[in-house]
């Protein structure tokens, strides 16, 4: 981040908003599971469409989680070659890997939009309440779009201002 924490760039505010949104979906999924189990165990009842909501929220969480982990580089990596090369080569490996990730997630986003559109046109509904499922698919798609935006920001920063990413990683290490 910036040295002055009170003045963050618009990109940093967007990144934080996306990460907090992903965290919110983690809370929603956990609450849905906890409440569903408690109602079944203690009251022998359930929330209508609890299974459908849980399944759909988990899908939304996955795509928003992709957004959060892609920017921070928190996803699984193999650093065998990366660890054996110098700083300049490491940077170019990072740029190449991030460009590949950007391409893959962009294609995934396009395909997910097709799924949103087909779910809308097929009028797919939940089992108990007959609610349309396409809004949840659309919410997952927005998470995927957020991933593309964050990966693009990461790529830009890796190429043109890698010190911003290094500063963020240094801040994270200090907070741990």
Q: What is the 3-state secondary structure (H, E, C) of 39-51?
A: HHHHHCCCCCCHH
Q: Please, which pLDDT band fits residue 176 given cuts at 50, 70 and 90?
A: low
Average pLDDT of span 4-11: 67
Alpha-carbon distance of 116 to 111, in angstroms, equals 9
pTM, entire model: 0.81
**109 domain-assigned:** yes
| pLDDT of res. 173 | 47
Q: Which residue has the higher pLDDT, 18 or 78?
A: 18
Average pLDDT of span 34-49: 93
Average pLDDT of span 13-39: 91
**4 domain-assigned:** no
Number of domains in the chain: 1
**1 domain-assigned:** no
**47 domain-assigned:** yes
| pLDDT of res. 1 | 42
Q: Which residue range(s) make up the domain with 40?
A: 10-175
Alpha-carbon distance of 151 to 149, in angstroms, equals 6
Average pLDDT of span 164-168: 67
Residue 134 buriedness (CB in 10 A; 0-12 / 13-18 / 19+) = buried
Average pLDDT of span 90-116: 93
Other beta carbons within 10 Å of 123: 10
Report which DSSP code applies to 83: G
Q: Please, which pLDDT band fits residue 105 given cuts at 50, 70 and 90?
A: very high
| Chain segment 117-146, per-residue pLDDT in tens | 999 999 999 999 999 999 999 999 999 999
**2 domain-assigned:** no
The candidate with the shortest Cα–Cα distance to 146, out of 56, 14, 23, 29, is 14
CB 112 within 8 A of CB 140: yes
**142 domain-assigned:** yes
**97 domain-assigned:** yes
Record the tokens describing residue 22, joined without a space. 């992903």
**Dihedral angle of Cα 80, 166, 107, 24, to the nearest 10 degrees:** 110
| pLDDT of res. 2 | 43
**3 domain-assigned:** no
């Amino acid at each position: 981040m910036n040295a002055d924490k009170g003045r963050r760039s618009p990109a940093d505010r967007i990144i934080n908003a996306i990460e907090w949104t992903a965290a919110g979906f983690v809370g929603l999924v956990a609450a849905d599971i906890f409440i569903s189990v408690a109602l079944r165990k203690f009251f022998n009842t359930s929330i209508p469409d609890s299974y459908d909501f849980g399944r759909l929220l988990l899908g939304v969480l996955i795509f928003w989680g992709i957004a959060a982990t892609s920017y921070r580089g928190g996803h699984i990596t193999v650093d065998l070659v990366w660890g054996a090369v110098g700083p300049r080569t490491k940077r170019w490996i990072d740029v190449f890997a991030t460009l590949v990730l950007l391409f893959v997630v962009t294609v995934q986003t396009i395909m997910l939009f097709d799924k949103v559109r087909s779910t809308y046109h097929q009028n797919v509904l939940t089992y108990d309440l007959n609610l349309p499922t396409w809004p949840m698919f659309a919410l997952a798609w927005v998470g995927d779009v957020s991933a593309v935006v964050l990966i693009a920001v990461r790529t830009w920063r890796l190429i043109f201002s890698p010190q911003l990413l290094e500063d963020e990683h240094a801040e994270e290490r200090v907070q741990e």
